[in-house]
Structure 1
Amino acid sequence: MKRVAILSSGSGSNAQALIEYFEACENIHVVYVGSNRPKAEVLERADRAEVNNGVFSKSDLLDGTLKDNLDILGVDWVLLAGFLLKIPGDFCNRYKERILNIHPSLLPKFGGKGMFGMNVHKAVYEAREKESGMTIHFVNESYDEGAIVFQGRVDISNLKSPEEIASKVLKLEHKYYPKISEELITLAEE
């Protein structure tokens, strides 16, 4: 059984999709949902799903406290779902090739510092892109620069707003992030 932690800074719809998906998996269990924001909706979602959850500070992430707490929980994999803080090097090394992130664009386009949520979709819309999508990638010390694992694409040529793009991309995220995460975690066991 692989033990997974989910880190999120926001509403947590991707975290919820992961929790619901892994409930049906025999070999993967979500043991913790953490947020750096005390009022993040993701914590309420975790409560409703009866998943252990909590709040940590940026300093907890940077000084190793969060990493130590995840070690105590026996966490094997970390899945980022709308998590906005940069992951420090020692954390990346502890979970080398076992930290995944989902990004709401086709990286390397529209990635990097400040490119999250609606900022991404506005930039995609303003650039008059014909397609957008989502990227699942391993996490390293730089924003959105880890090895790409999977990209899901969607035609946006007829969409009229960043909000419409966001809606289409979110559907892809919910469809693929749980499935691709499961495949990677399962392959790593073999």
Structure 2
Amino acid sequence: MVVAQLGVAVLVSHGGSNFRALHEASLVPGAGFAVSFAVSNNSGSQALAYARERGIPSRHLSSRTHGSVDELDAVLLGELTDRGVGLVVTAGYMKKVGPRTLAAYEGRIINVHPSLLPRHGGQGMYGMAVHEAVLASGDQVTGPSVHHVTAEYDTGPVIARQEVPVLPDDTAESLAARVLAAEHRLLPEVVARIARGD
């Protein structure tokens, strides 16, 4: 008997290390999910190059390919539904997901963020800015969060977090590296749980 796998689409803008980690985890027997589609708003992203190398269907969708936000939203939703995608993961995706896609996939779009939300989330809080804010605040612990995506940045309900200690000699770069390693563990774990129906 063939067990149906959860089809996962990943939306990504640049390097795509979480996309790669998720894809590699999907290849483990019994993972329960398959990365079946990748979308990037950056035609030159490493994520799209990785998708092409691995034979993962992918598309560049951005303001360059579609002039209006509404059109872009409609095309993305069409791609996701046509491909039977069951879960959408935003991983370093530097755009808001449009209202049509949000409505159609309500409760089925998740994001990984490099802080313990609700701390250090919101507009402008991405990349090194997050880790610099953690250090400036004097937090002794940080770490990634996986949360549901809503219309506003980083405000959806948190599904899971993984704590990472902030060390006395940490720089934003050293902290970012440890948090990213935790993201690479946490995100596939959460997607596998969703695939199992947890």
CA RMSD of aligned residues (A): 1.5
Q: For structure 2, which runs of at least 5 residues remain unmatched after alignment?
A: none
Mapped to 2, the partners of 1:65 and 1:131 lie a distance apart of 40
Shift of 1:74: 1.1
Mapped to 2, the partners of 1:164 and 1:28 lie a distance apart of 32
Structure 1 counterpart of 2:18: 14
Mapped to 2, the partners of 1:182 and 1:61 lie a distance apart of 32
Mapped to 1, the partners of 2:174 and 2:135 lie a distance apart of 10
Q: TM-score, normalised by structure 1?
A: 0.93
Q: For structure 1, which runs of at least 5 residues remain unmatched after alignment?
A: none
Mapped to 2, the partners of 1:160 and 1:171 lie a distance apart of 15
Cα offsets for 1:124-163 (capped at 9, x unmatched): 1222221110100011111000110001001113233100
Task: Give 3-state SS (helix, strand or coil) of 1:19's partner.
Answer: helix
Q: Identify the match of residue 24 of structure 1 among 14, 21, 28.
A: 28
Shift of 1:25: 4.6
Q: Which amino acid aligns with 1:85?
A: K
Q: Which amino acid aligns with 1:86?
A: K
Q: What does residue range 79-118 of structure 1 map to in structure 2 within 5 Å?
A: 79-118=89-128
Task: Give 3-state SS (helix, strand or coil) of 1:121's partner.
Answer: helix
Shift of 1:67: 0.6
Q: Identify the match of residue 166 of structure 1 among 165, 176, 190.
A: 176
Mapped to 1, the partners of 2:77 and 2:169 lie a distance apart of 42
Q: TM-score, normalised by structure 2?
A: 0.89
Mapped to 2, the partners of 1:13 and 1:126 lie a distance apart of 26
Task: Give 3-state SS (helix, strand or coil) of 1:129's partner.
Answer: coil
Mapped to 2, the partners of 1:179 and 1:70 lie a distance apart of 22
179-188 or 77-86, larger mean C-alpha shift: 179-188
Identity percentage of aligned residues:
31
Conserved 8 A contact 1:105-1:111: yes
Conserved 8 A contact 1:6-1:80: yes
Mapped to 1, the partners of 2:25 and 2:53 lie a distance apart of 15
Mapped to 1, the partners of 2:89 and 2:104 lie a distance apart of 14
| Residues paired across the two proteins, number | 188
Shift of 1:61: 6.0
Shift of 1:97: 0.9
Shift of 1:186: 1.8
Q: What does residue range 48-127 of structure 1 map to in structure 2 within 5 Å?
A: 48-58=53-63, 59=66, 62-63=70-71, 64-127=74-137
Mapped to 2, the partners of 1:113 and 1:78 lie a distance apart of 20
Conserved 8 A contact 1:159-1:165: no
